[in-house]
Amino acid sequence: VKHPLSCRWTLWFTKPASGKGDNWNDLLKKVITFESVEEFWGIYNNIAPVSELAVKSDYHLFKEGVRPEWEDPQNKHGGKWAYQFKDKRSVNIDELWLHTMLAAIGETLEDEEDGEVMGVVVNVRKGFYRIGVWTRTTGRHIASRGDGDVAGGKGRSLEKSKEILMNIGRRLKEVLKLPPNEMVEFSGHTEAAQAGSTRAKARMVV
Ligand code: M7G
């Protein structure tokens, strides 16, 4: 008996650049798409844990049909909640990443009708691990419109959009077992793209 997930998910991997000529697109690879709990465990048990990945690797687990990139039309108005674990040796990154993936595919990061969560990401970097949740919107107006509509907001008010995003941030903070004084930060992809990195200035924290 297979236990179906409420949608299909695709696992992606970013392999570390080997030389100067490598660009983002050459490094990002689709691994596999799945649709049941059993398939998830089969895949999980057969891939390298985050703790064994080389620096500059990423795993991305996204809803099928959404590429884990700022450029994807479905991420155009979006952003992400993220937290960096700077003490790499003391953190159980494998367990935290597993719990983050389970929260995503089990749809416990948001209420199902919210439809904000696009995927989850783990980055392995020289000085830290980063876990993030990508969202469809940023809870802000589209600058070019000025008609009060939230970008991609399904007709929601700005307040409601922000509340949905804040709840996702709070849920991520719980999943990552962070103490109250540690902050999970939200940033929009547009700012990240401009800064050339996701270390863009955060606009929301929980
Ligand atoms: P990062 O992995 O988000 O954060 O971006 P880091 O700076 O802490 O490592 C690292 C680099 O990967 C960026 O400067 C981009 O060159 C590239 N990169 C990351 N993302 C998520 C994207 C993306 O969505 N699109 C493109 N074109 N490049 C990206």
Per-residue model confidence (pLDDT) at position 195: 63
Average pLDDT of span 69-92: 97
User: What would the pLDDT profile of 41-78 be if each residue is shown by its tens digit?
Assistant: 999 999 999 999 999 999 999 999 999 999 999 999 99
Closest C-alpha to ligand 1, atom 17: 24
pTM of the model: 0.92
Which residue lies with its CA nearest to atom 3 of ligand 1? 198
| pLDDT of 145 over the 90 cut | no
pLDDT band at residue 152 under the 50/70/90 scheme: low
Q: What is the pLDDT at residue 21?
A: 82
State in Å: Cα 99 to ligand 1 middle.
Answer: 24
Residues above pLDDT 70, as percent of the chain: 88
For residue 89, report the distance from its CA to the centre of ligand 1, in Å.
24
Cα→Cα distances 19→5, 22, 26, Å: 39, 6, 12
Q: How far is the CA of 111 from the centre of ligand 1 (A)?
A: 29
